[in-house]
């Protein structure tokens, strides 16, 4: 049986640990049109060199950052004769890759995933561990692609002295949140349902989904279509009874709590029970919707969300970009998707 088996591939300072039961050989054979015993699986780790490496370095420099070490492509290919199928998405399971850097990392470093087709670079969950003079970067993601470690130092003119400045700068330097422009974050602007869904998908390192939109008011040309589809497939979001998602509606604090709790459930980490006792200090606790009570209790118990005042939670209030960033940072740390 393959259950519990880990396929480990090492190449110099890079290691790839792939749970064997993630590979549905029967399904792969069916897609290739062959028998399971005729399928050969090949795992490769390729260091980016030449023009590919130069293009990635230029991409990082365009973001105001610098590469730390090399970029690597991780691939899993099933083949039989002249038929090939690349397996790049593992659904709801994280696969670990480690890159060992020879020196300690100072400042804010982050792991990124690079889309070879679009050239887009974005945050990928990772933890940085010191090991003597070296640094081990543990990258967690549900899919294969090109990964690199970069260093960035992002800030925005309009968050100087803001209560959330440190968390916004850290998440922006991790490429988890973005500004509305190069020098503006607009911390008090409301976050929409689509924007927060996209933030959760990015934080979890999910592969954005192509194909038919999940809701009738989301078009495949909308910038958030892939993220909303991925969030729906992962069970993070649900639509309304009329089949809509209302992507451009501001997300309320209690809605945000529900989505954040689903992210905890997706990753599968132990969480607080969601006992309503956690809400006893809020005078407006009775106004929290029944469907959000447990989620809000979990968020408060875990210290991921707090009130907007000493005894006010304001469940129906809109969520600002600053509030969403701070909550996202606490959530990512809780889920071990980034360091403090």
Give the pLDDT confidence of 193-249 residue by residue, as tens digits.
999 999 999 999 988 877 677 899 999 899 999 999 999 999 999 889 999 999 999
Taking a C-beta distance cutoff of 8 angstroms, is the pair 224, 198 a contact? yes
In Å, how far from its chain's centre is CA 19?
A: 20
Handedness of CA 271, 258, 121, 165 (dihedral sign): negative
**Mean pLDDT, to the nearest integer, of 8-24?**
88
CA geometry: angle 254, 257, 262, nearest 5 deg: 135
pLDDT at 158 over 80: yes
Confidence of residue 166 (pLDDT cuts 50, 70, 90): very high
User: Residue 207 has what DSSP assignment?
Assistant: P
Confidence of residue 1 (pLDDT cuts 50, 70, 90): very low
**Mean pLDDT, to the nearest integer, of 97-102?**
93
pLDDT at 275 over 90: no
Q: Which of 89-103, 286-300, 322-336 has the lowest mean pLDDT?
A: 89-103
Strand partners, 83: 80
pLDDT at 28 over 80: yes
pLDDT of residue 2: 53
**Mean pLDDT, to the nearest integer, of 120-140?**
92
Query: Can you point out the beta strands (E) in the chain?
Result: 6-11, 14-19, 40-47, 66-67, 72-80, 83-86, 95-101, 109-114, 121-123, 126-131, 134-141, 146-151
Give the pLDDT confidence of 309-339 residue by residue, as tens digits.
879 999 999 999 999 999 999 999 999 999 8
The 3-class secondary structure across 308-332, one letter per residue, is CCCCCCCCCCECEHHHHHHHHHHHH
pLDDT of residue 208: 84
Confidence of residue 115 (pLDDT cuts 50, 70, 90): confident
pLDDT at 340 over 80: no
Mind giving me the DSSP string for 138-194?
Answer: EEEESB--EEEEEE-----GGGTT-TTHHHHHHHHHTTSS--SSSS---TTSBPBHH
Give the pLDDT confidence of 240-270 residue by residue, as tens digits.
999 999 999 999 999 999 999 999 999 988 7
């Amino acid at each position: 049986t393959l259950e519990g088996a880990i396929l480990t591939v090492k190449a110099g300072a890079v290691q790839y640990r792939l749970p064997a039961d993630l590979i549905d050989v029967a399904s792969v054979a069916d897609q290739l049109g062959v028998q399971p015993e005729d399928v050969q699986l090949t795992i490769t780790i390729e260091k980016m060199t030449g023009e590919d490496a130069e293009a990635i370095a230029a991409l990082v420099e365009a973001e105001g950052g610098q590469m730390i070490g090399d970029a690597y492509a991780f691939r899993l290919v099933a083949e039989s004769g002249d038929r090939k199928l690349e397996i790049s998405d593992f659904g709801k399971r994280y696969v670990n890759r480690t890159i060992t850097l020879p020196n300690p990392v100072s400042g804010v470093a982050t792991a990124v995933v690079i889309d070879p087709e679009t050239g887009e670079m974005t945050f990928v969950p990772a933890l940085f561990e010191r090991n003597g003079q070296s640094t081990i970067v543990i990258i967690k993601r549900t899919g294969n692609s090109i990964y690199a470690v970069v260093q960035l130092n992002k800030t925005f003119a309009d968050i100087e002295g803001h209560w959330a400045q440190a968390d916004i700068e850290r998440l922006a330097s991790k490429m988890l949140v973005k500004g509305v422009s190069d020098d503006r974050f607009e911390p008090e602007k409301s976050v929409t349902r689509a924007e927060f869904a996209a933030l959760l998908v990015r934080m979890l390192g999910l592969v954005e989904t192509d194909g038919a939109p999940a809701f009738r008011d989301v078009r495949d040309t909308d910038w958030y279509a892939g993220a909303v589809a991925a969030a729906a497939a992962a069970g993070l979001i649900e639509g309304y009874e009329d089949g809509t998602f209302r992507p451009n509606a501001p997300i309320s604090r209690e809605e945000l709590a529900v989505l954040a709790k689903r992210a905890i459930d997706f990753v599968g980490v132990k969480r607080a029970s969601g006992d309503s006792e956690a809400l006893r200090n809020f005078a407006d606790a009775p106004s929290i919707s029944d469907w959000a009570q447990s989620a809000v209790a979990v968020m408060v118990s875990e210290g991921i969300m707090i009130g907007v005042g000493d005894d006010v939670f304001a469940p129906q209030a809109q969520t600002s970009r600053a509030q969403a960033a701070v909550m996202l940072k606490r959530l990512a740390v809780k889920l071990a998707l980034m360091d403090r």
